[in-house]
Each structure stands twice: as C-alpha cells, then as structure tokens.
Amino acid sequence: MRVRLSIALAALLLGGACSSDDTVEPPAANTFVGADGVESEIEDTSRIVTLAGDLTEAVWKLGFGDSVVATDVTTVYPPEAVGLPVVGVGRFLPAEGVLAQEPTLVIGDTQTAPLEAIEQIRSAGVPVVILEVPTTFEGLYDKIGDLADVLGVPERGDDLTQEIRSAIEAALGTTSPLDMQPGIAFVYSRGPDVMLLFGSEMTTQPLIEAAGGIDVGAAAGIIGTVPMTPEALVAAAPDVIIITSEGLQALGGEAGLLAIPGFAETPAGREGRILDYPEGDFLTFGPRIAESLELLISDLRSLLDGQ
C-alpha cells in the first residue's frame, strides 16, 4: 500500500541528481502505512535491518547501503552486505537478534513472521515496515516505489524503477521467441525430505512466463506451493525442470534428482533438461531480476533450440 505523508519535501533535501549508488540524506521524518496496515513513524534511517535479500539489494541501490547494519540469511548481494551480521531468517524472525543490532528501522515483507516477533520489536520503539511480496513485474515496481517512500527518496525510487523496467525490456527485446513454448516446473528442494512444486503467486511464475514458458504448477491450479508427489509431477509433464543449485547439490546432483520417483518419467527428465540457479539469485525478485531473466532465456534457448 503506497501511502506516504512526508514531513519534509524529499526534493528539497536531496538537491541535485545523483547516481543510484550514491548515499543520500533522507527527510527528517516520514509516515508510512505498510502492507499489514500498520502506520510507522520513520524518524531515523541510520541503522537499518533488512529481512529479505531483495530488500537489501533495493535499499543499497537507493543509496542507503551504509545504513544497513544487519540482514537475514537470504541476502547474497551486494558483496558489501554479505559480511554484515545475520539476524536469522525473516520467515522465522528472532526479535532478540534484531534488537541486538540496535536498529532504528526494520524492513520486512508479508512473509516476515511470526507476528509476535514483529510486535516485540515495535514494542521496543523500533518501526517495522512491512512491504508486499511482488509476484509480477508491476508489483516489483510498486514495491521499489514503496521502499523509496519509506526511505524518503521517491525520486530515486522512480529512477530505480525505470532502470529495472528498461533492463527487463532489454532482456526481452534481444531475443526471438523459442521454437516451442515449454512447460516448466520450478521445484524447491533442500534435500529429499523437502520437495515443493511452485505455482501461481510465486516469484518464479513471471520469470517463467516472460521467458516464453508455461508454468506447469500454475497451469495445474497450484497457488503458492504444494508438496511434490511423483504423480503430480508426471501429470504436469514439464519439458524443463528448474531447481535451486543448493537443492540440486543436496540431492546429489542431476543423477540424484532423476533417481527420485517421477522425475525421470517426465519429458524434462528423459531429455536431461534440468536447470539450476542459486536460490539467492533466481528467487530474489529485486533489482537484479533482469539478469535472471536474461540467463533463463539463454539457457532455455540452448536446451530447446540447440543454440
């Protein structure tokens, strides 16, 4: 929800234009209503804790990298952020670990949990801003705008949004359509005991569809994720399977994946059309999304068109 009541005009404080990686001085105070409906008074952005990798990257791109004092484990970029203290996993938020960093602002999203931990941080006088998790490119642009509003730099948000939009358009405009429209399954795994099939309302769907594929999970009516069964996978009949690199490694590589019932019986398994990408890259729906899209398009072309 993009609601912003700025106490001071950001444009007057920002002065002249600056590049997206320059540190900027935010307005003195800001009021923002988050996706959870909670209004936050943001008075100090000098010590920020980010609770998702895409948030870390976007905060950095908006010029506030020097203010980030801690992240959650999903942050893998930029390199400067990787060495910062890690407070845990945003989806299983430890309030004590966050408060130990003495933050002046905590930024999470609608996957941040549990609510009790969020309330504990707020009770300590620290604003916790919750943003939507985007599952479309337009949603990503809105999230960047909301984050820029939180930080009091809406103009920089507009610039970053246009930068991302242009990069996505460039990735889509430099290639011709695939020879076939492949059915693609995104499988999330951390080992044999954790096998999930992704569907609609996940960050993987817009990537798959923009690259020219059909998200077989979404086509099957899956919303979010479901435990993957051999029967469901065979019925989906994906031409290509995408899995995280971490998951593939935990399964013992491609041979280990194909040894799991159902995988070898799919067109993807029979043809060896398995793609893997680092979780922190492919699942981070943020400023680097055009790079993931460009790589996926290139890899699909190599697999399907023999180029």
Q: Are 47 and 103 in contact (CB under 8 A)?
A: yes
Asked whether 77 and 286 are in contact (CB, 8 A), the reply is no
Site of tokens 């399954």: 185
Estimate to the nearest angstrom the gap between the alpha carbon of 259 and the chain centroid: 30
Paired tokens of 149: 């509003």
pLDDT tens column, 288-307: 999 999 999 999 999 987 64
pLDDT tens sequence across 93-134: 999 999 999 999 999 999 999 999 999 999 999 999 999 999
Written as six digits, the tokens of 244 are 């995280």
Q: E-strand spans in the chain? A: 4-6, 30-33, 39-42, 48-50, 68-70, 105-109, 128-131, 183-191, 194-198, 214-215, 225-227, 240-244, 274-277
Q: What's the rounded mean pLDDT across residues 261-278?
A: 96
Could you give the strand order of the β-sheet that contains 48-50, starting from the edge strand earlier in sequence? 68-70, 48-50, 105-109, 128-131
Q: At how many degrees (to 10) do helices 289-305 and 154-173 cross?
A: 10
pTM of the model: 0.85
What is the percentage of the chain residues whose pLDDT exceeds 70?
89
Q: Which residues contact 286 (CB under 8 A, 6 or more apart)?
A: 53, 54, 55, 57, 58, 140
pLDDT digits (tens, 9 = 90+) for 15-67: 333 444 444 554 557 899 999 999 999 999 999 999 999 999 999 999 999 99
Which one, of 125, 107, 89, lies nearest residue 280 by Cα?
89
**Whole-angstrom distance, CA of residue 275 vs CA of residue 186:** 10
Q: Judge whether residue 262 has pLDDT over 70.
A: yes
